[in-house]
Chains A and B, each alone.
Chain A
Amino acid sequence: MKRSEPEGLGPAAILVIILLGIALSVLVWQNLRRERDAEVERQAEAYAEALGEAVSSGIQAIVAALPQPARRVQLGGGASSAPADAARWQSAAADFLEQNPSTLALLAEPGWGLAGSAEGKEIARQVLPDLRRRAADPTSEFLTPPISVSGGREIVAAQVRISGDARESGTVFAVIDPAVALSRILDKRALGYAVSVSAGDQELYRRGPAEPKRDLRRLGRTASIKIGTGPPWTLRVSPTAELEGLDLSSLWVLIPGLLGSALVAAAVHFGTLSWRRESALRAANERLAQQIDDTRRGEDSLKRLSEELEQRVARRTAELNETIVELETFNYSVSHDLRSPLGAVINFAAILNEDCAEQLDSTAKEHLNRIVGSASAAVSMMDALLAYSRSGRTELHKTHLAVRPLVEDVCDELSASAPRLKCAVKIGEMPDAYADEKVVRFVFSNLIGNACKFTHPNQEPSVEVGGIREGDEVVYFVRDEGIGFDMRFVDKLFRVFERLHVSQSYPGHGVGLAIVARLVRRHGGRVWAQGAVDKGATFYFALPVASEADGRETT
């Protein structure tokens, strides 16, 4: 029976599993990203606050440091003359500017002059008059918001007192480049983040990409820094892609999701396939077991049926045997019991004929003779019937039998009892038999007797007897050159009271061959005949050779 191969998941189911896997990994990914974002935001906020303070204190530190060279000049001691102080100022300012690159120019207001780079000095000359003018008190301290100067630069200007009493010590004015200052403060801080500082619209410092990716930009945080008198500066800290783990695009998330869900789908597919195959196998096994059961049940019922049949056959055989026995008994008792009254008929007819011979005429005597003759015929038929009946009932005692001397003996007996048959029998090859001696004797006696009897008038009987071993049988034959028979009626030869020749010429009852056939068959043998009218007849009988079991029984 052909069965379809079990299938795993269909393409739709696989697709669904993959999509579910992707959705799940996206969800997980989003969750992870949310957590990361929160972490980044927290860090950005912390950085913003810390850097804001750093900027605030860094700028304050720069401003606070501005009086240092002027103080060195004042505290330097020695001859205090204006030219000498100016020279010393220039030297101290130069040192200071070298150490503080964010300061571009310095001006001490005891009148020691302007120090700084050429560019710084130029910027100072640009901005100073305006700042002086706006200041109510020339000695006041200030820190300006960023100012645009020539060259596109943004600077802040600061003025601080040299010491506590400005009337005595004067002030220091400085031009400061906030970009440099902020760079020194911020450059090594919050790596991985973009940091920018702006005052109003003016951007003073920037590190990192100007435009961080959109999803990173929203994570940025700002801090407001109060510097000097102007509006507060704004410091912004934004994460950049350099930040480890931040550059996870959705595509990179999809690949493991896709792979994972494909793996899951494959696992489910093959799992399902194997499960279904196993199920199919189990189902097939169950069907097979069922079929085996059915077959066994069928065999059982067949066996029962055959046992029933055997029992029925045995019963019928027993019934049949019983019937046969009954028939035989009936046959025997009828033959036997009829014999007695018939015997009386014969006896008294004979007695009448003898004792009253003088009172009877020849016709009466003739009638009496007919009575005696018929009754005698009936009696001898009954004797034949009795013999036939007995042939079916007598026990057979099989022995290993030397047949040749037995046949010789039979021939002697026949010649003695009926010398007129002038029996001349030629005995050929004569194998031994395994049979009942009486039966073999009877069979040969009957067949040879017949062969001698059924001859043409005035013909010398010529009989040939022989035998040959053929396979599991020994086949014997008795052949004559007598009157033969018509093969059309060969079957009648072996039936009771069937005769093929008129009884006047050849006396007999037609029972002898029937008894022969019966006895041979009871031996498990066969009997048959061949012949033609006036061409003689050959009677065969075959007896089975001794089986090994038979051989053991007799030894």
Chain B
Amino acid sequence: MDERRPEILLVEDDSNDVAVALRAFRRHSLAERVHVLRDGAELIDYLLAAGSRFRPKLILLDLKMPRLDGRGALKELRRRPETRHVPVVIVSSSDQEHDIRECYELGANSFVVKQLNPWAPGEYLVHTARYWLDMNQAIH
């Protein structure tokens, strides 16, 4: 596997959220392993460009995004054989049951509600990423 390839794809259109997330990752020396994409379309383009052998360890996917949103991107990921088993964690401000259910049905591996913690901003993303990077056994 190419060492320069990122292990985490963060798909998020809100620059504030991206900034907070990257700060948290940086504080845990994970920022180098994260690549940020602004929406679903960018994600799909990036994956196409990366080639069929590229397997990220985690895709953190926001739901509400311009152009191709989280649902559309998830569908596309699960439709493509080379990304069918890539771990996808939905990161959304919604805690609506129908959103959660729909995402699982589309093949999400986990659903995390965006958390607000003034004492440790964005820290929940680091916790989430740790699990998928260090603990999870993926299909390569």
Contact = CB atoms under 8 A, between A and B. Distances in A.
Interface in A338-366: 339-341, 343-344, 346-351, 355
A536 to B, nearest CB: 35
A332 to B, nearest CB: 9
A526 interface: no
Interface string B1-43: 0000000000000101100100100000000000000000000
Given A336-B94, A339-B93, A351-B23, A344 B118 contact: no
B93 A340 contact: yes
Contacts of B14: 340
B109 to A, nearest CB: 24
A376 B121 CA distance: 13
Interface residues of A, number: 16
Interface in A266-294: none
Contacts of A340: 14, 16-17, 93
Contacts of B84: none
Given A344-B16, A347-B121, A376 B23 contact: no
Contacts of A346: 116, 118, 121
Given A351-B23, A351-B121, A343 B94 contact: no
Nearest to A372: B118
A339 B20 CA distance: 15
Interface in B53-95: 93-94
A346 B114 CA distance: 13
B114 A343 contact: yes
B116 A343 contact: yes
A181 interface: no
B118 A347 contact: yes
Q: Chain A contact residues: over half helix, strand or loop, or mixed?
A: helix
A376 B118 contact: yes
B93 A350 contact: no
B93 A347 contact: no
A379 interface: yes
Contacts of A344: 16-17, 20
Nearest to A341: B16
Contacts of A339: 93, 116
B71 to A, nearest CB: 17
B119 A350 contact: yes
A347 B116 contact: yes
A344 B114 CA distance: 12
Nearest to A344: B16
Nearest to A355: B23
Interface in B90-129: 93-94, 114, 116, 118-119, 121-122
Contacts of A372: 118
Given A336-B93, A339-B93, A347 B114 contact: no
Contacts of A343: 16, 114, 116
Interface string A371-408: 01000100100000000000000000000000000000
Contacts of A336: 93-94
B38 to A, nearest CB: 16
Interface in A284-317: none
A80 B67 CA distance: 195
Nearest to A386: B95
A384 B116 CA distance: 15
Interface in A234-249: none
Given A348-B16, A348-B20, 16 more contacts: A336-B93, A336-B94, A339-B116, A340-B16, A340-B17, A340-B93, A343-B16, A344-B16, A344-B20, A347-B121, A347-B122, A349-B118, A350-B119, A372-B118, A376-B118, A379-B116
17 contacts: A336-B93, A339-B93, A339-B116, A341-B16, A343-B16, A343-B116, A346-B116, A346-B121, A347-B20, A347-B118, A347-B122, A348-B16, A348-B20, A349-B118, A350-B118, A351-B23, A372-B118
Interface of B: 14, 16-17, 20, 23, 93-94, 114, 116, 118-119, 121-122
